[in-house]
Amino acid sequence: MSLVDQVLSVVLTRSSSKENPTSHKLSENIDKIKQKIADNDKEILKLGEKLKAQDKLIQRLEGNDTHRVCLDPKTRAKRIKFNQTGYDITHSKLQKLLEKDDKYQTQLKKLPL
């Protein structure tokens, strides 16, 4: 039994023992308050479900993959994005890095960058 129910039951027993004409109105008001509390609890549960759904959507949009290829709107260059490490590099930068190293020259010519 919740604290609200305990308080309401005490108020009802005291008011009914005195045989006040307002006890009936009081019990009606108590029922209305209980109904509002139940409605608020239902609304809170609905909002909680919406938040969970939004969190799942955000996680999907951010991408939980180890890597993915996306398009940069400013330079329209393909980007390789490693989400776990937060490391970003464009293909042009990657090409410059590979040109510096001689052992990757043959592999660089084979790659369609």
At 97, the pLDDT band (50, 70, 90 cuts) reads low
More confident site: 41 or 58: 41
At 54, the pLDDT band (50, 70, 90 cuts) reads confident
Does position 102 have pLDDT exceeding 60, yes or no?
no
Q: Residue 79: what are its φ and ψ, rounded to 5°?
A: -120, 140
80 and 66 Cβ atoms separated by less than 8 Å: no
Mean pLDDT of the 44-60 span: 82
DSSP string over 76-93: --EEEEETTTTEEEEHHH
pTM comes to: 0.36
DSSP SS3 for 68: strand
Give the residue from 86, 75, 79 showing the smallest Cα distance to 113.
Answer: 79
